Amino acid sequence: MARSGMSPRMLVIGLDAADPSLIEKWSADGVLPTLKRLRSEGYWVKLRHTGEFTSSSIWPSIYTGAHLGKHGFYHTTQIVPGTKELGLLKPERCGQSPFWRDLDKSGRHSIVVDVPFSYPRADLNGIQISDWGSYERFSEPRSTSREVLTEIDRRFGRYPVGQEMSRNAPVGKRELQRRRTQLLAGAALKGNLIKWLMSSRPWDFFMVVFGETHAAGHSFWNFGSNNHHDSFDSKALNLTTTLRDIYRAVDGEISKLVEMLDERTSVLVLSGHGMRPNYAGWHLIPEVLSRLGFLVTGSKTSGNGIRAPERSQQLRSLLPLNWRRSLSRYLPNRLRDYLTIHWATSGIDWAQTRAFCLPTERLGFIRINLKGREPNGIVEPGLEYQNLCDQICETLKQLVHPRTGRPIVGEVFYTDHVFPGPQRDCLPDLIVDWRHEGEIDEACSRQVGTVKASSPDLRYASHSPEGFAVLYGRGIRRGYASTGHILDVAPTVLTYFGLQPPSYMDGQAWANPFGL
Ligand SMILES: [Zn+2]
């Protein structure tokens, strides 16, 4: 909301995958004094969304204000429409503009740093830096300004945290200790970079995302309470407090940034999703589809564009699981994702397959081999497609864990219902969310029988659909709302600047923090 006589400014600080329940607990305990102050003096909003928002879609949904049927980002490795190939996500392919483009058009200067899955647009009225210190990086650091990038390199050097640690191999104590040191150093270095940019360049809107909270969540969640960690003394190694220490370090950086703000600048601190124990069952879906006869693998067909199983798959099947895990440990994650799906799809008999799985890290992604859309599609659009989706959905919902008798699937989302839009055909057709009641290493039903497999993703934590936002500053009222959505962030920021949110945005601006 533009206040008369003063042109407003806003600093947005993203805490990637920072968990709202930890923020509440540790701000109450005094561990996070800055967030405690912002919460008590500002407007605290619980951001909730249903499980169909994938972790890769969170930041694009926040910065475009549009759902993934419009922006099209659901995973770092996505199917290339019209092919059976998989490609690594390219931020430039985002089907919708970031909201700072609207600020741009109104003459505001923006500085945007490390917003995940975004890229520096050459025509930006300001500075954007991508892939410098974000949690997932798609390239070497990039910027709208070569001069700024050179100066950052000279003053701050490289961001100290490497790409994510292995997901499917146990991580040793030395690696964890090194990661702890790197994350603490990364938070401090990013804070210094932001302070320098804030004080040396003009801006009306500044947005930065700290990725350390995301990396720490996956690597140090519940550390010390899990038997897997008992092989070494995690307490003596400071690993049990690492997650808290990293949240505290980021809180300290927020404090320094907030101290620099003048009276016409408000701050918005936010996270679009949180963390919880890693209970997912996506690895069981291929076997379920196979038993239903919908996914057919292993036949050596040729011609008509259908490939025979390739050597990499044959090699893979000869390797024991622990060998495959240790091999994958030395592959960069992106390459590993690519190889995983290459292996996973190269043996598919497309002439007989009606449904198949796409790469994922939490949700199940099922795509129908649809005629007219897939190169070798065999399922007719319309009734046949619909019946197949219904049948898969029903089957998945009937699966229970044999030990508990409890269903393993929480919800199956039909993409046509939840994410219609121009990017619809890039997406899976069905998105499967889990009940998150315990490890899903087995499932059974009368129709399917029993399928068993441990998850190849050994990380202790994955994402919950709960985030938060706290607004603080002049003109922002104190208060609390429990009904925010990640899609509300973009229209809320534009409304703060007195701009009308574009009609493609799916969320609603929050009126209460501004007293509207
Ligand atoms: Zn994650």
pTM: 0.90
CATH assignment of 9-53+96-277+462-514? 3.40.720.10
φ, ψ dihedrals at 37, nearest 5°? -65, -45
Least confident of 172-186, 296-310, 370-384: 296-310
pLDDT above 80: residue 94: yes
For residue 414, how far is its CA from the centre of ligand 1 (angstroms)?
23
For residue 212, how far is its CA from the centre of ligand 1 (angstroms)?
11
pLDDT of residue 82: 80
User: Who wins on pLDDT, 343 or 76?
Assistant: 76
For residue 463, how far is its CA from the centre of ligand 1 (angstroms)?
6
pLDDT tens digits, residue range 172-210?
A: 888 888 999 999 999 999 999 999 999 999 999 999 999
- When mean pLDDT is compared over 178-182, 305-309, 317-321, the highest value belongs to 178-182
Where do the domains of the chain lie? 9-53+96-277+462-514, 282-308+347-452
What residues contact residue 265 under an 8 Å CB cut-off, 6+ apart? 8, 9, 10, 11, 473
Answer yes or no: are the C-beta atoms of 83 and 102 closer than 8 Å.
no
pLDDT of residue 410: 95
Give the pairing of strands 205-210 and 110-113.
Answer: parallel
pLDDT above 50: residue 252: yes
d(CA 313, CA 324): 12
Confidence label for 50 from pLDDT (cuts 50, 70 and 90)? confident
pLDDT above 80: residue 92: yes
Confidence label for 310 from pLDDT (cuts 50, 70 and 90)? very low
For residue 275, how far is its CA from the centre of ligand 1 (angstroms)?
8
Answer yes or no: are the C-beta atoms of 451 and 284 closer than 8 Å.
yes
Q: Is 377 exposed, middle or buried (0-12, 13-18, 19+ CB in 10 A)?
A: middle
Indicate the average pLDDT of the chain. Answer: 87
For residue 17, how far is its CA from the centre of ligand 1 (angstroms)?
7
pLDDT above 80: residue 332: no
For residue 97, how far is its CA from the centre of ligand 1 (angstroms)?
23
Tell me, what DSSP letter sits at residue 79? E
pLDDT tens digits, residue range 380-432?
A: 999 999 999 999 999 999 999 999 999 999 999 999 999 999 999 999 999 99
d(CA 462, CA 433): 12
Confidence label for 8 from pLDDT (cuts 50, 70 and 90)? very high
pLDDT tens digits, residue range 478-494?
A: 999 988 999 999 999 99
Tokens 């699937």 correspond to what residue? 409
pLDDT of residue 84: 76
Answer yes or no: are the C-beta atoms of 463 and 274 closer than 8 Å.
yes
For residue 299, how far is its CA from the centre of ligand 1 (angstroms)?
36
Confidence label for 315 from pLDDT (cuts 50, 70 and 90)? very low
For residue 188, how far is its CA from the centre of ligand 1 (angstroms)?
21
pLDDT above 50: residue 259: yes
Q: First and final CA of the chain: distance in angstroms? A: 9
Confidence label for 455 from pLDDT (cuts 50, 70 and 90)? confident
Would you say how long the chain is, in residues?
Answer: 516
Distance of CA 226 to the CA centre of its chain: 24
pLDDT above 50: residue 318: no
